[in-house]
Structure 1
């Protein structure tokens, strides 16, 4: 789960209800007055193909919130000003639950940004989503590889276009603290464990984490499991696990989970593991900046969670290093994620927004705002801002990289965005051991 301040605290119930009603009204497609004269300005020439005569509204619902949501809305402001299409955006920490509620209630958003291909597939198979219109499909074919396109393909039909991408195999740290203590960035798993012991012995918490995320609580722990399965067992076993050709409670997955437990459930490294369950995803890594914690494993999108004014860089307040491989001779395993833009409606203005979001023009507009990358082939790498983004792109482009998409996002929704999350929460909380947790998740796999 990309993604994203992938999921911050949700709005109050009243606020969500109000926004839902607003989104429904805005998504009706009713005219709301004549178009703005902005559309006739010279800078609007690139948007001519998207222009409508009268103001139209398109609702978009996603998991992206806070600082990331602000940048998302900024990225399409020129589009709005030039086309007379107004985008009514809402981000929510309860997306996975509420998107079903809204769809079943007959009030889905015009466009949903799915962080899990498995969840997208559930809606596609229920005939809730629109197959990609021709102009959107043309941009998909032009700008993405077949590997990315297949994640939103269901029964031979394509229902979504990739949006952002993220690299999850990163560990955040304080360059200042490491310099003060003489600690070196580890390049292997064994070096990282040895460093963890050294940090713990110094009186500083070796690892910090937070998995609370509203209805999505538990997802950061699934990323840990996935990243380590890829390292502990390799890409072939990872693929078998995702496809369920081996069960969730296979000994190979048990081995990887126990390796994660040696860190996340180790009081020597994390203090009281139970506090991880009640610490929000957004706050989980903040002790790193205050030099109260040595390391925090989280994706490149976590750069949006640091307090305003934080210097992110090799010599800054915080930076990140590649989450080391267990056996470097087998390549550079990298877990990646992303979001997919799908539509519940096919009105002309909805298709135009979806087409724009699948374009290289939008990708470059978004990248220039920082803290964001994409697998869009029309993205100008020079437009990528921020040291973490550049590091992430370097990792993705490294010939040694063996990348795999977030496993829980590919699994059926009953598992990937439900039992895997809740199972990890119980596991970290200590109410279930590793075997019981994996047995429980396996029992929920759809027959």
Structure 2
């Protein structure tokens, strides 16, 4: 991955870690003050990350260890964070810190009384260095529990420049143009899209981008809060728009059946792997990290993206997501866990993963030079510049039973819709029934 103008930043970070005392040009950093005050302690962190994401987050944890002396242990939970963490708490083996990937799960944890409010140090950093929207999504009933360390820009369609060039296609500006371009790519010998339908969250992201652009932000917010029913005509219309893609065998690599047996990493491989099967894959900015780390692609040259296009004359959507760090009350080392959160709130911590790639930070103080390529820098700037106009992933705002559980709720119902997209109205009714049950619970 290309790294420009990073020498000063890298040497600064290395010096700070080596001395364990100050950030370059700044005062003392929290997280134990760099005096190895946490030596002999271990912080247990649970999160969904595996593969390259887990490997890169471990670099951040190692930097925390170098600064504070605290050891760390990462536990991968899989997608069902709520279930796994709940069972660990009940078994008396709660982690100290959880990286929560859904607002709805954070809300659930807080209302169960599992979380410690963030320390004054972490709160002041978030207030100063993050857009208010991130504080809003980290809070429950006015109390701030979550620090958004890793953000996602979920309005990016990634493509192989070679595939689009060979088909004579330019990045489209509208959804209809994108489907038309997809047919041109298909005519040239590759399927248009790889769809990771085995992972239901990829399908919710497809729906959310279409819905935000087509129905508008007010209805998006209402649906996210379940103040608007899923049987609303705007939902049925968006499902119909998504169904145009799902039912078109020329557009999806391997058709619907293969899409349902393709997980997210495999969908990226179908575009950027050694044997390409498709020209494009929709998902967040983190596609670039997988394309680079797993398949050696140079971002901006071998892999690029265009913004998710506007639908039916609407505004192009900007959907985001993120992983919020929270501290559990029942963790054996919650005090050291809070020190980890104070460290994660700093641009120094964000710079470690930014350098490794496949990462965006909502921290406004992070030097853009920390990112290793111009494409990631542009994506990060887009997210920061969006400020409070960005809309958080809708399924992540829902109760986990509806928006964040494998084989259930919205994930399963959209997988069923991918399998048979012929009845948008019927799917909307099933979504409403599942949502009503989850929100009441």
TM-score range, shorter chain: 0.7 to 0.9
Tell me the secondary structure at the aligned position of residue 318 of structure 2.
Answer: strand
2:209 is the alignment partner of 1:222: no
Q: TM-score by structure 2 length?
A: 0.85
- Structure 1 residues 350 and 396: CA distance shift in structure 2, 3 A: closer
Q: Which residue of 2 aligns with 1:382?
A: 369
Tell me the secondary structure at the aligned position of residue 268 of structure 1.
Answer: coil
Write the mapping of 1:155-170 to structure 2, written as runs, cut at 5 A: 155-170=141-156
Distance 1:401 1:180 in 2: 39
Tell me the secondary structure at the aligned position of residue 171 of structure 1.
Answer: strand
* TM-aligned CA deviation for residue 402 of structure 1: 4.9
* TM-aligned CA deviation for residue 171 of structure 1: 1.1
2:412 is the alignment partner of 1:422: yes
Distance 1:220 1:76 in 2: 28
Distance 1:193 1:425 in 2: 20
Q: Given the alignment, which residue of 333, 336, 339 partners 2:320?
A: 336
Q: Which residue of 2 aligns with 1:113?
A: 99
Write the mapping of 1:404-419 to structure 2, written as runs, cut at 5 A: 404-418=391-405, 419=409
Whether contact under 8 Å (1:143, 1:360) holds in the other structure is no
- Structure 1 residues 42 and 409: CA distance shift in structure 2, 3 A: closer
Q: Given the alignment, which residue of 103, 107, 115 partners 1:129?
A: 115
- Structure 1 residues 45 and 224: CA distance shift in structure 2, 3 A: same
Q: Given the alignment, which residue of 416, 430, 434 partners 1:440?
A: 430
Q: Which residue of 2 aligns with 1:60?
A: 45
- Structure 1 residues 117 and 40: CA distance shift in structure 2, 3 A: closer
Tell me the secondary structure at the aligned position of residue 283 of structure 1.
Answer: helix
Q: Given the alignment, which residue of 175, 178, 195 partners 2:181?
A: 195
Q: Which residue of 1 aligns with 2:71?
A: 86
Per-residue CA deviation, residues 364-391 of structure 1 (Å, 9 max, x unaligned), is: 2322222211111221112122344123
Query: What runs of 5+ residues in structure 1 fail to find an aligned partner?
Result: 1-38
Distance 1:41 1:430 in 2: 54
Per-residue CA deviation, residues 201-231 of structure 1 (Å, 9 max, x unaligned), is: 334212111132xxxx311100001010011
Q: Given the alignment, which residue of 316, 335, 341 partners 1:348?
A: 335
Distance 1:168 1:431 in 2: 23
Per-residue CA deviation, residues 153-196 of structure 1 (Å, 9 max, x unaligned), is: 11121111111111111111111122223221212223212212
Per-residue CA deviation, residues 217-250 of structure 1 (Å, 9 max, x unaligned), is: 3111000010100111111111111121210221
**After alignment, is 393-402 or 283-292 more displaced?**
393-402
Write the mapping of 1:249-398 to structure 2, written as runs, cut at 5 A: 249-270=231-252, 271-289=254-272, 290-306=275-291, 308=294, 310-314=296-300, 316-326=301-311, 330-345=314-329, 347-397=334-384
- Structure 1 residues 365 and 242: CA distance shift in structure 2, 3 A: same
* TM-aligned CA deviation for residue 104 of structure 1: 3.0
Q: TM-score by structure 1 length?
A: 0.84
Whether contact under 8 Å (1:332, 1:400) holds in the other structure is no
Whether contact under 8 Å (1:310, 1:318) holds in the other structure is no
Tell me the secondary structure at the aligned position of residue 259 of structure 2.
Answer: helix
Distance 2:326 2:243 in 1: 36
2:207 is the alignment partner of 1:211: no
* TM-aligned CA deviation for residue 420 of structure 1: 0.9
* TM-aligned CA deviation for residue 309 of structure 1: 5.1
Q: Which residue of 1 aligns with 2:165?
A: 179
Whether contact under 8 Å (2:153, 2:379) holds in the other structure is yes
Whether contact under 8 Å (1:333, 1:401) holds in the other structure is no
Whether contact under 8 Å (1:170, 1:298) holds in the other structure is yes
Q: What is the root-mean-square deviation of aligned Cα atoms in Å?
A: 2.4
How many residues get paired? Answer: 403
Distance 2:372 2:364 in 1: 17
Q: Which residue of 1 aligns with 2:11?
A: none
Whether contact under 8 Å (1:310, 1:317) holds in the other structure is no
Distance 1:347 1:378 in 2: 27
Per-residue CA deviation, residues 283-309 of structure 1 (Å, 9 max, x unaligned), is: 013222244212211111112322645
* TM-aligned CA deviation for residue 432 of structure 1: 8.5
- Structure 1 residues 104 and 426: CA distance shift in structure 2, 3 A: farther
Q: Which residue of 2 aligns with 1:234?
A: 216
